[in-house]
Structure 1
Amino acid sequence: MKIFVPADAFARALGSDAVADAIAAAAAARGVSVQIVRNGSRGMVWLEPLVELDAPEGRMAFGPFAAEDAGALFDAPDAHPKALGPTEEIAFFKRQTRLTFARVGVIDPLDLADYQAHGGLAGLRRALAMAPEGIVAEVVESGLRGRGGAGFPTGIKWRTVAAAPGPQKYIVCNADEGDSGTFADRMLIEGDPFALIEGMVIAGLAVGADRGFVYLRSEYP
């Protein structure tokens, strides 16, 4: 049995660590073999901690989950008072097609094999087979823009850095989020960190940088 319990900052602030411990204890008391995966947030903070049970028909969601709810998850999951039904059928998700957040909440953020099983490193493998100028040209053609308020074209930025003279170039991931009400970058960093690293490596290949830094605000826990 596989159970997902988020380990992002939102969920941990709301007690997900205690929930994970309680689920492990309840499983042990019943002699049930369970794999607890600490995933990222699905983005529904009002339902955190959001526990998901991997079932044949898909993931089943329960939340907001408390430590005292753990026993019923094994005894009568269908009648659980915190049962929300299939995760993908929750109204928040039903009309979404996730791209940037496609893996967030789905994978174990610290499991590289899980990342690769869900398409991770495919872009890097392709980039390694291309010339730097080819990478830049493809990003320019894609119309990809930055995630900041200006929405600056990524390809133009990369092309400018690639053409700039100098013996040393750097890639800096700007995770300075001034709007404390969103923290979308934090969700990505916590829930899909290998995507951040992969993107930085591809950018480095494109512009000729061999060192990178991630800048975080001091307010991040």
Structure 2
Amino acid sequence: MIKIYVPRDSTALSLGADKTAAAIAAEAQKRNIQIELIRNGSRGLFWLEPFVEVATEKGRVAFAPVQPKDVPGLFDADFLHSAAHPLYLGLTEELSWLKKQQRLTFARVGITDPVSLQDYIAHDGYKGLANALNMSGADIVKVVTDSGLRGRGGAAFPTGIKWNTVLNAPAEQKYIVCNADEGDSGTYSDSGTYSDRMVMEDDPYVLIEGMTIA
């Protein structure tokens, strides 16, 4: 069964991704074509949303931006097996905007279904937690400190220092707060890039795993 990916990210939704996904499902049913429609996170190419991908033996190929009115024509062009359509962009991973990136925080974003726990686990999810469960709190803090992990806000504050401070604070009850940085003046996250929103929407289990380890 051929897999088709249509993002569920809020930016994609604001640009019509739900309608495009519904049109693809309806057209496939109309033509008796069996597909698996997966709502993934956005790849981040917001100017090309709705960004539709089709899984092939060579990797995912992209068609964008796909509006509901484009869907019948895509099926007419046999887009599930062919590149013969004006919206065809080629292999997603070979697009110049993506090819130059080394994605760490966004490693799963756009790849997985963000609300599927099974998909998260299949892409190395909860391996960190599994390791942490066999370690002491002090050892966990040392690993985090030695890793050089920092916050994603303007201060880039070392995570290990934060965790060590809380570890050594005398209290019977401690709390984990997951905030979201949506723009510090003068930083890379300014100007409405909403980089933390993408993590929360498109790879939420990584936040849950990190908070659980903490």
For residue 189 of structure 1, what is the aligned residue in structure 2?
Answer: 200
Select the residue among 169, 174, 189 that pairs with 2:174: 169
Q: In the alignment, residue 151 of structure 2 is paired with which amino acid?
A: G
Q: In the alignment, residue 164 of structure 2 is paired with which amino acid?
A: R
Matched residue SS, 1:72 = helix
1:72, CA displacement in angstroms? Answer: 2.9
Which structure 2 residues correspond to residues 1-221 of structure 1 after superposition, within 5 A?
1-76=2-77, 77=79, 78-178=83-183, 179=190, 181-203=192-214
Q: Give the whole-Å Cα distance in 2 for the aligned partners of 1:186 and 1:128.
A: 28
The farther-off stretch of 169-178 and 187-196 is 169-178
Q: Is the 8 A contact 2:6 2:53 kept in 1?
A: yes
The farther-off stretch of 76-85 and 193-202 is 76-85
1:180, CA displacement in angstroms? Answer: 5.3
Q: Give the whole-Å Cα distance in 1 for the aligned partners of 2:100 and 2:180.
A: 28
- Tell me the C-alpha RMSD between the 2 structures: 1.0
Q: Which has the higher strand share?
A: 1
Q: In the alignment, residue 57 of structure 1 is paired with which amino acid?
A: K
TM normalised by structure 1 equals 0.89
Q: Deviations over 1:160-179 (max 9, x none)?
A: 00000111100101114244
Q: In the alignment, residue 118 of structure 2 is paired with which amino acid?
A: A
Q: Give the whole-Å Cα distance in 2 for the aligned partners of 1:180 and 1:21.
A: 32
Q: Matched residue pairs, number?
A: 203
Q: In the alignment, residue 92 of structure 1 is paired with which amino acid?
A: W
Q: Give the whole-Å Cα distance in 1 for the aligned partners of 2:104 and 2:157.
A: 19
Q: Deviations over 1:144-197 (max 9, x none)?
A: 111111011100110000000111100101114244521010001111010010
Matched residue SS, 1:39 = coil
Q: Give the whole-Å Cα distance in 2 for the aligned partners of 1:189 and 1:195.
A: 9
Q: Give the whole-Å Cα distance in 2 for the aligned partners of 1:73 and 1:60.
A: 13
Q: Give the whole-Å Cα distance in 2 for the aligned partners of 1:70 and 1:33.
A: 16
Matched residue SS, 1:17 = helix
Q: Is the 8 A contact 2:153 2:181 kept in 1?
A: no
Q: In the alignment, residue 173 of structure 1 is paired with which amino acid?
A: C
Change (3 A) 1:38 1:54: same
Q: What residue ranges of structure 1 are gaps of 5+ in the alignment? A: 204-221
Q: In the alignment, residue 103 of structure 1 is paired with which amino acid?
A: R
For residue 211 of structure 1, what is the aligned residue in structure 2?
Answer: none
Q: Is the 8 A contact 2:66 2:87 kept in 1?
A: yes
Identity of aligned residues (%): 59
